[in-house]
Every structure is written in C-alpha cells, then in structure tokens.
C-alpha cells in the first residue's frame, strides 16, 4: 500500500474536480525492484473479473519505488495526473490509450493540467485562510 500516494491522488481528484473518478475505488500501491522503467503504472479490473467477483470497478495506481520516490513533489504530482488521465469519464474499468480520440495523454496535457492544479490549490488555500480569519473574528 502507499498511503502517501493515495493522499496526493485524492487531493488531485478534488482540486481538479474529477467528479467521474471515485477515489475510494482507486488503490495505490508501491512496488520495489520492478524491472519496468516507468515511474508508475495504472491497472484496471476488467469487466469479466468484476462480474465474476461481484465487485464494482477498481483501478490500481502502482508507483515504482526506485524511480518514483526520487522525484521532486511536483514531478510526482505530474506522474499521478498522467495515470489518472487513463481513467475514462465512464469509470467503467477500461483504460484510455495515450493517443485517444478526445484526450491525448502526453507531457503537454499533463503540464497544462498540473499548472491548473497548482493555481486552484493556491486559490483554495487562500479561501480557507480567509474563512478561518472570518471564523476567528466572529469569536
């Protein structure tokens, strides 16, 4: 399990308003000594397994410790945004390809979304501070 990754995924889903993603059905795992050169991978639970096991849709985001853990926080966020982009709007258990019809999953898209993420996160932090100041002034 990777609770630190789950926390970041949850924040990204909330801040980017990814309402189609059920963050309670995303499991984050950390693997060690994997032979892949990727920072992370996303896995789906195919429809046939969902039916056979009588469970709903699940996705697993696997971070490869030897590559992912060395990254700065901003790069980790970008990696997770990239993986979340593979989840279709239907949250069906399928995975979007990198060169899909409607969404291209590439560094340009990820960088644009990361910029929006940082802006919204800053705005939300400012709003929370203002709400706290108002609450304190009321007492």
Closest CA to 57 of 19, 95, 31: 95
pLDDT given at position 120: 95
* Domain 3-138, architecture per CATH: 2-Layer Sandwich (3.30)
Instruction: Retrieve residue 67's tokens.
Output: 């590559």
* pLDDT score recorded for residue 135: 82
Residue 103: pLDDT band with limits 50, 70, 90: confident
pLDDT digits (tens, 9 = 90+) for 5-47: 999 999 999 999 999 999 999 999 999 999 999 999 999 998 8
**CA triple 65-66-71, angle to 5 deg:** 80
User: Minimal CA–CA distance to 25: which of 45, 54, 5?
Assistant: 45
Per-residue pLDDT at 12: 97
**CA dist., res. 66 & res. 35, Å (int):** 10
Q: In this model, does residue 139 exceed pLDDT 80?
A: no
CA distances 126 to 4, 49, 96, 129, Å, are 24, 44, 34, 5
Q: Where is pLDDT greater, at 128 or 25?
A: 25
Q: Residue 112 — φ and ψ, nearest 5°?
A: -65, -45
């Amino acid at each position: 399990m990777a609770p630190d990754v789950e926390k970041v995924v949850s924040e990204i889903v909330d801040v980017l308003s990814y309402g189609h993603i059920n963050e309670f059905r995303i499991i984050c795992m950390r693997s060690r000594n994997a032979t892949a050169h990727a920072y992370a991978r996303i896995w789906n639970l195919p429809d046939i397994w969902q039916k056979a096991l009588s469970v709903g849709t699940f996705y697993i985001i696997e971070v490869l410790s030897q590559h992912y853990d060395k990254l700065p926080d901003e790069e980790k966020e970008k990696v997770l945004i990239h993986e979340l982009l593979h989840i279709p709007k239907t949250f069906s258990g399928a995975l979007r390809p990198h060169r899909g019809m409607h969404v291209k999953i590439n560094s340009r898209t990820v960088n644009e979304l990361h910029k929006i993420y940082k802006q919204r996160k800053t705005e939300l932090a400012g709003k929370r501070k203002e709400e706290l100041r108002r609450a304190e002034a009321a007492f």
